[in-house]
Structure 1
Amino acid sequence: MGVPFEALLPYGIMLAMFGITGAGLSKIRHMQNGGKRARHSVDAWDRQSNTYECSEIIQC
Structure 2
Amino acid sequence: MGVPFEALIPYGIMIGMFAFSAVSVGKLREMQNGGKKARRGIDAWDRVLMERDRRLTGFMRGQTDKPEAPQGFELNNPWRVEQRFL
Fold agreement, TM-score > 0.5: yes
TM-score under structure 2 length normalisation: 0.59
Q: Which residue in the other structure is 2:30 paired with?
A: 30
Q: Map residues 38-49 of structure 1 onto 2, 5 A cutoff.
A: 38-49=38-49
- State the Cα distance separating 1:34 from its structure 2 match: 0.5
Q: Which residue in the other structure is 1:56 paired with?
A: 60
Report which of the two structures shows the higher radius of gyration computed on alpha carbons. 2
1:12 maps to a residue whose letter is G
Structure 1: gaps (5+ residues): none
TM-score under structure 1 length normalisation: 0.82
- State the Cα distance separating 1:47 from its structure 2 match: 1.1
Cα root mean square deviation, aligned: 1.4
- State the Cα distance separating 1:48 from its structure 2 match: 1.2
How many residues are matched?
Answer: 55
Higher fraction of helix: 1
Identity of aligned residues (%): 56
- State the Cα distance separating 1:16 from its structure 2 match: 0.3
